[in-house]
A and B are shown apart, each in its own frame.
Chain A
């Protein structure tokens, strides 16, 4: 595969079967988005966000992009911006993994930290405040930009349909809602009986903090009407599934992948999907950026999970 620059090496990721992981009578396939150039599904989104801004004349040589992110989108934007000469500022909660911070620094990204107790919602708040007073920056705003779900509608979805035309259900993590919305729309157009399930990370009290229930941030790009179910997955369940993926399927994936596989196994029941169904799970990234969390160390899962629940692992 020859690519004239890194943005042309995005997508066309492998879809691999997990025979040892799927419940009897079902097939589970993992879409390995960690195979994208910077190692996450966000390469697709970052490319669409920047291309869209260029088309609309919002960027010129030397422009600065400002984006709230829990990490992956920032890393992907950095890789897209570098060869095009755009500067990048990322607003990131202070409790994201060490590797994400290191990678962003390596790309020369300016990082602004938002309080851990406010989670990604805090990063959104801080980025909005910064962008408001500064006409020289462009904020793509992945949480509200239709280019985010469009990346999945136009690339991830068609790839899955091409490789597995009889896919019965898809499971993806709920972060911005872009993956679920774009994929869900595309797959339901292909076959309206396709089921779409969201795996939602559940954290510890530190992450939720004193956030008010009625101030909860629902990303504007999330179209809940494409969802058939939404299941929360705590750090312990995500960790157990992630470790099992490594040991029994040979797949070294991040914790969001474990969470989504947990949900896929849960919905593989005749009450929800006929026996013989093929389920696609989107694996947003590999395990590399989570090594420092201890998730892959031999340590006792309960101790590791307690540490993890205060880190934004999705």
Chain B
């Protein structure tokens, strides 16, 4: 199963500068763990010790914020796109 993951500039030190990487997993949590095996240090930037997402990290599956889906346990399907973005305010 191939999940596209878009990596923000600040995390590209972990992915050899790659903007987009591929991951495998039936849930967001599994996909992040999978990335962590190939890109050391990446999973820790996103997940707390208990496996939930860090409070200030915005993760989206197909443009939807996963906090309103299933959090780290959001199910993924082949071809889904995961994006990670820092928070930006406006006004």
Interchain CB contact under 8 A, B10 and A213: yes
**Interface assignment of B49: CB less than 8 Å from any CB of chain A:** no
- B86 x A212 contact (CB < 8 A): yes
Which residues A169-222 have CB closer than 8 A to chain B? 173-178, 198, 200-203, 205, 207-219
User: A42 near B: Cβ within 8 Å?
Assistant: yes
What residue of chain B has the Cβ atom nearest to residue A206's Cβ? Answer: B9
Q: Contact at B89–A219, with CB atoms within 8 Å?
A: yes
Per-residue 0/1 for A56-76: is the Cβ within 8 Å of any B Cβ (1 yes, 0 no)?
000000000000011011000
Residues of B within 8 A of A173 (CB): 90
Taking CB atoms and an 8 Å cut-off, the chain B residues in 44-91 that contact chain A are 45-46, 54, 56-58, 60, 63-65, 67-68, 83-91
Is there contact, CB below 8 Å, between B88 and A176?
Answer: no
Name the A residues within 8 Å of B89 (CB-CB). 119-121, 124, 143, 175-177, 217-219
Q: For residue A24, which residues in chain B have a CB less than 8 angstroms away from its CB?
A: none
Known interface pairs A213-B86, A216-B56, A218-B87; A229-B8 also in contact (CB < 8 Å): no
Report which of B9, B45, B54, B64 forms a contact with A231, defined as CB distance below 8 A: B64
Interface residues of B (CB under 8 A from A): 8-11, 45-46, 54, 56-58, 60, 63-65, 67-68, 83-91
Q: Would you list which residues of chain A between 107 and 145 have a CB under 8 Å from chain B?
A: 119-121, 124, 142-143
- Beyond A214-B54, A216-B56, A229-B68, whether A207 also contacts B10 by CB under 8 A is no
For this complex, 17 residue pairs linking A to B, each with C-beta atoms less than 8 Å apart, are A70-B91, A72-B91, A120-B90, A142-B91, A175-B89, A176-B89, A176-B90, A177-B89, A202-B83, A208-B85, A211-B10, A216-B57, A216-B86, A216-B87, A216-B88, A229-B64, A312-B90
A224 at interface (Cβ–Cβ under 8 A)?
yes
With beta carbons under 8 angstroms apart, the residue of B9, B63, B84, B90 that contacts A233 is B63
B86→A208 contact, CB < 8 A? yes
Are B56 and A218 neighbours in the complex by a CB distance under 8 Å? yes
Q: Out of A143, A207, A210, A224, which one reaches B91, CB within 8 Å?
A: A143
Q: Tell me the interface secondary structure of chain A in the complex.
A: mixed
Contact B58 A216 (CB under 8 A): yes
Q: Given the complex, which residues of A lie within 8 Å of B88, measured CB to CB?
A: 119-121, 201, 203, 207-208, 211, 216-217
Number of interface residues of A (CB under 8 A): 46
| Chain A residues near B (Cβ < 8 Å) | 42, 69-70, 72-73, 119-121, 124, 142-143, 173-178, 198, 200-203, 205, 207-219, 224, 227-233, 312, 314
Q: Which residue of B lies closest to A69 (CB)?
A: B91
Q: Are B65 and A232 in contact (CB under 8 A)?
A: yes
Contacts of B87 in A (CB 8 A): 121, 216-218
Chain B residues closer than 8 Å to A212, beta-carbon distance: 10, 86
Q: A120-B88, A176-B89 are in contact. Are A213 and B64 (CB under 8 A)?
A: no
- Nearest Cβ on chain A to B79's Cβ, whole angstroms: 18
Instruction: Identify the 9 closest CB pairs spanning chains A and B, nearest first.
Output: A175-B90, A216-B87, A230-B65, A216-B56, A176-B91, A175-B91, A211-B86, A314-B90, A120-B89
Residues of A within 8 A of B60 (CB): 232
| A202 CB, nearest partner CB in chain B, Å | 7
Which residues of chain B are within 8 angstroms of A215 by Cβ–Cβ distance?
A: 56, 86
Question: CB-nearest residue of chain A relative to B90?
Answer: A175
Complex Cα–Cα for A209 and B87 (A) = 12
A200 touches B65 (CB 8 A): yes
- 20 further A-B pairs in the complex, CB-CB below 8 A; given A209-B9, A216-B86: A69-B91, A70-B91, A119-B88, A124-B89, A174-B90, A176-B90, A201-B90, A203-B88, A208-B86, A208-B88, A211-B10, A211-B86, A213-B10, A213-B84, A214-B56, A214-B57, A216-B56, A229-B64, A231-B63, A233-B63
Given A213-B57, A216-B58, A232-B63, do A73 and B91 touch, yes or no (CB 8 Å)? yes
